[in-house]
A and B are shown apart, each in its own frame.
Chain A
Amino acid sequence: MAATQPATTATASDSSISLRGVGKFFGKTRVLESIDLEIKPGEFCVFVGPSGCGKSTLLRIIAGLESVSVGELSIAGKRMNDVEPSKRGIAMVFQSYALYPHMSVYKNLAFGLKLGKTEQSEADRRIREAARMLQIEQLLDRLPKQLSGGQRQRVAIGRAITRQPKIFLFDEPLSNLDAALRVSMRSELSRLHKQLKTTMVYVTHDQVEAMTMADRLVILNGGHVEQVGPPLEVYHRPRTVFAAGFLGSPKMNFLRGEIAEVAPDGVVVKLKDGGTVRARVKSDGAKIGDAVTVGIRPEHLVLKAGEGGPLVATVLLTEDLGDHSIVHLDREAVEGRVLAKVEKVPVGEDKKVSFEVPTSECHVFDAKGIALPRLDPAPEV
């Protein structure tokens, strides 16, 4: 059942989603824990994380396909824990499209409207408009099995659009498409969001989709929220080791060390394998001798020929990818070796190279994996 929205006065609570202390059990297994999240109206919010982190479950809880074990779910300010899925003002696009195989595309789009007793002419108008928006007008009489994967995906989206929901939910909708199609569908979905301006909650395990499509990211890990924020903020100012390591390819380099100096404008960390780095982070609570992890993204490492320092290592391997190269340094990181991503490699393999961890890009994480807050704001887009 879709409500007609007032044209201009969209109040703050119209399509917001609020999760307070939400937890979910399956028998004895805890799948989600203490989820506190506010999704703003009109926002494109992406739930991202590794498999099994609970992102799909969280989406399904918003949809009403899973029940809330603990806590409260509200949509547009109203408590939704016990409300039927079809009455929440939402529509969902499934990973496998879930089109009704025995119905034509038109009937697939019409099904929900007919059940909601929408008037025939109004229903027809909505269907045709959605079909036009998604460029599937010529497919209206076909059966799902006669369509390609991309076309089916559009029909699934169209089915959601015709219901004129306040909130769209997407459950890894692009995973079943091939790479090229995924890229074009990504931009189409973003375009759709700009056009419809409704709240969209999108689940994916693909960080590229997450980074490019989201207004805000929610990184989930093991059933709880690691970090919430706009993509670039999460990228440049990760709050936990997990968030730092999840975004960015190749992964951020993590180096073990301990605090050597504490100053009001940052700390100096002595690395385990030698050398020191400076970081501009809040230093209250940090003590000399604290075990910390330093994080530096491969693309932020500065490489120079020669052994001038500040840090030196041997180049083990260079992988040239055309527009950039990945350099494997003979220096241990927490997982594997230190990698640098550069446009041009200054020295050949088996030669020594100097590398620097710029203070402006240096992350420091305490023993629990929480980041020491950076003093500089994140770079603007």
Chain B
Amino acid sequence: MADRLTRSRVRSAWVFLAPMLVVLAVVAAWPLLRTIWLGFTNANLLKMSEAKWIGLENFTGKYGLLQDKVWWLAVKNTLWFTFLTVSIETVLGLVVALVLNRTFPGRGLVRAAVLVPWAIPTVVSAKMWSWMLNDQFGIINHILLGLGIISSPKAWTADPDLLMSSVVMVDVWKTTPFMALLILAAMQMLPKECYEAAEVDGVHPVKVFFRVTLPLIRPALMVAVIFRALDAIRIFDLIYVLTGTREPTMTMSIYARQQLIEFQEVGYGSAASTLLFFIVALLTVLYVVLGRVKLGGD
């Protein structure tokens, strides 16, 4: 129904949209496309103007990503990290959410306390935990030694076998509040009658949880899990500050950045970034499609 008044309104809508779209194009669309393009070149940080198109060499060539052991290690690390953190955070988040869902004196304070890890900047968390995990002066070792759980101080941020555990430990500490809050929000939207009926029937609380609560919050829980997983796959800050570019915890993001900035292999690094982007994009699309299909089938 394109009459003059409607048309002028639509036109002004585009004018209002333009600034944001321009910025987004400049900040997101263009750099992404550029990165993808660079992935097909042999660009080098110091000689950017001499970049030449080399097709799929960065990906499938003899020295390409698919042949690079370190790249595959990064992929494995990322997936393993994601799996560990998301599952632990979901379980702990559920526990915290269940606790916060009950009314008890001081609940507000507890909720505020639970938010503290989320409020602390990632870099600061990393540093704080680095200090606590310090092999000589760290308090973690002190506690564990005191409780007799370990016999000698562990080098949490140095020992290759412990790096992944350290990183997971810190991420769990930092991100469980987020999961807990999402789950709590979902729980608080549930009708209270279910619980009251179960209480009257004398059903054991554990059974109530598994048979009533969990199925009802499943949709919101799935959303939270997917969000966290997509975040975890892209992780950079925490790991970089805690363990740097050590191989046992190298994720895809760290690998890419290392190639880009430290090794100045802009082409190669861009190729790695591109792969990471497509993995995330694929998972996102899969989730949206599967989500729609499920809803449609209901």
Contact = CB atoms under 8 A, between A and B. Distances in A.
Touching in the complex, A and B, CB below 8 A? yes
B4 A82 contact: yes
A325 interface: no
Contacts of B4: 67, 82
A96 interface: no
A64 B4 CA distance: 11
Contacts of A26: 1
A156 B263 CA distance: 69
Contacts of A67: 1, 3-6
Interface string B1-40: 1011110000000000000000000000000000000000
Contact of B5 (A25, A27, A69, A84): A84
Interface in B142-169: none
Nearest to B6: A67
Contacts of B6: 67
Interface residues of B, number: 5
A69 B1 CA distance: 8
Contacts, number: 17
Contacts of A68: 3
A84 B5 CA distance: 7
A196 B60 CA distance: 84
Contacts of B3: 67-69, 81-82
Interface string A65-82: 001110000000000011
A82 B2 CA distance: 12
Binding site of A, secondary structure by majority: helix, strand, loop or mixed? loop
Contacts of A81: 3
Contacts of B1: 25-27, 67, 69
Nearest to A65: B5
A120 B4 CA distance: 34
A68 B1 CA distance: 10
Interface string A43-84: 000000000000000000000100111000000000001101
Interface string A4-37: 0000000000000000000001110000000000
A10 B4 CA distance: 31
Contacts of A82: 3-5
Interface in A79-119: 81-82, 84
Kindly name the residue among B1, B3, B5 whose own CB sees the greatest number of chain A CB atoms within 10 A: B5
A67 B10 CA distance: 14
A88 to B, nearest CB: 12
Interface in A262-290: none
A20 to B, nearest CB: 17
A312 B152 CA distance: 113
A68 B5 CA distance: 10
A25 B6 CA distance: 14
A25 B2 CA distance: 12
A25 B1 CA distance: 8
B5 to A, nearest CB: 5
B96 to A, nearest CB: 38
Interface string B83-94: 000000000000
Nearest to A64: B5
A64 B1 CA distance: 15
A102 B5 CA distance: 28
A324 to B, nearest CB: 50
Contacts of A27: 1
10 contacts: A26-B1, A67-B3, A67-B4, A67-B5, A67-B6, A68-B3, A69-B3, A81-B3, A82-B5, A84-B5
**Which 5 A-B residue pairings sit nearest by Cβ, starting from the closest?**
A67-B3, A82-B4, A67-B5, A67-B6, A82-B5
Given A25-B1, A26-B1, A81-B3, 14 more contacts: A27-B1, A64-B5, A67-B1, A67-B3, A67-B4, A67-B5, A67-B6, A68-B3, A69-B1, A69-B3, A82-B3, A82-B4, A82-B5, A84-B5
